[in-house]
Structure 1
Amino acid sequence: MMELDATDARILTVLQRKGRISNADLSEEVHLSASACHRRVQRLEDAGIIRDYVALLDPRKLGRPTVVFVEITLSGQADEVLDAFEREVRLIPDVLECHLMAGTADYLLKVIARDTEDFARIHRRYLARLPGVAQMHSSFALRTVRQTTALPV
């Protein structure tokens, strides 16, 4: 793991908020010369700390305001059951996140849909056909209180 100093943390904090900021503006915000700032960003990218740059889209403006959390319990814990499930769940375009869990469910999925009817379609077409599923419980988010992609640094 790479050691981060306060300057690296400032760079990462700014880039998480403003991924399209120019190097000149970034260097000004973090109080570095442009060349030193560029070298640090390059080092953070090379180390894999900065994994990618993305555009964050507004799901409401794209007609996908419904968020559903789906808890899935599998019929077994054998590697082949887990591998088959994970291979298939990666192919579902409406699944934004899939986490292997410790606790009551084996997996927790974050699914996005247009509305309850659209989620029913996703459930029928994809979720109900996932291999190894013994139980599934879905919870609809009523309101998002906090959402961020920024990691604390």
Structure 2
Amino acid sequence: MENKNMDKSDYLEQAADIDQLDEKILKLITKNARIPFLEVARECGVSGAAIHQRVQRLLNIGVITGSEFTVNPQKLGYNTCAYMGIYLEKAKYHRQVVAAMRDIPEIVECHYTTGQYAIFIKIQTKTNKHLKKIIDSQLQEIEGIARTETFMSLEMDFKRQVPIQ
């Protein structure tokens, strides 16, 4: 019997059914999103049309969620990277706090978490002073936030995709 109070996000995400060719394609395109399909086809020993169909299928079933260019924040002057744990006054404030934080473009990631914090965010600012201004004049003004705890990133050692097996 289905619970009418549950939505799709309440169910566990099923792993997609992918084969060895899909895995090889994913390994190639996650290393270089701009690799031509014909080069992928040569590496995989199949036609360009087959690669196009496979990639389209992977997009349709949600294995691939798109492609994008990644901006280097430092090249645009965003030299301060911080992570922030957010305590809420009450759990019921979660949705409205997240909605308000969407209006702060310097917040580049937002996670609903278990443990000590209700929400954990990543924020990129130009300077420490810029970060302080956002905390004081924007974040602390959001109704439902009890307090925050900030962690400064000194350096990112690596970032990667999940392993494709």
TM-score, structure 2 length as denominator? 0.85
2:47 is the alignment partner of 1:36: no
Deviations 1:79-126 (A, max 9, x none): xx1111111111210011011110011111100011101111221232
Deviations 1:22-42 (A, max 9, x none): 111121223322121111111
Q: Where do residues 102-113 of structure 1 align in structure 2 (5 Å cutoff)?
A: 102-113=114-125
Q: 1:57 maps to what in 2?
A: 71
Q: 1:141 maps to what in 2?
A: 153
Q: How far apart are residue 151 of structure 1 and its match?
A: 2.3
Letter in 2 for 1:126: Q
Q: CA RMSD in A?
A: 1.3
Query: Runs of 4 or more off by more than 6 Å in structure 1?
Result: none
Distance in 1, matches of 2:19 and 2:72, equals: 33
Letter in 2 for 1:97: E
Out of 114, 119, 128, which is 2:131 matched to? 119
- 3-state SS in 2 of match to 1:103: coil
- Runs of 5+ in structure 1 lacking a partner? none
Out of 38, 45, 50, which is 1:24 matched to? 38
Q: 2:3 maps to what in 1?
A: none
- Runs of 5+ in structure 2 lacking a partner? 1-13
Give the total of aligned pairs.
150
Bigger RCO of structures 1 and 2 (CA < 8 A, at least 6 apart) = 1
Residue identity over aligned pairs, in percent, reads 25
TM-score, structure 1 length as denominator? 0.91
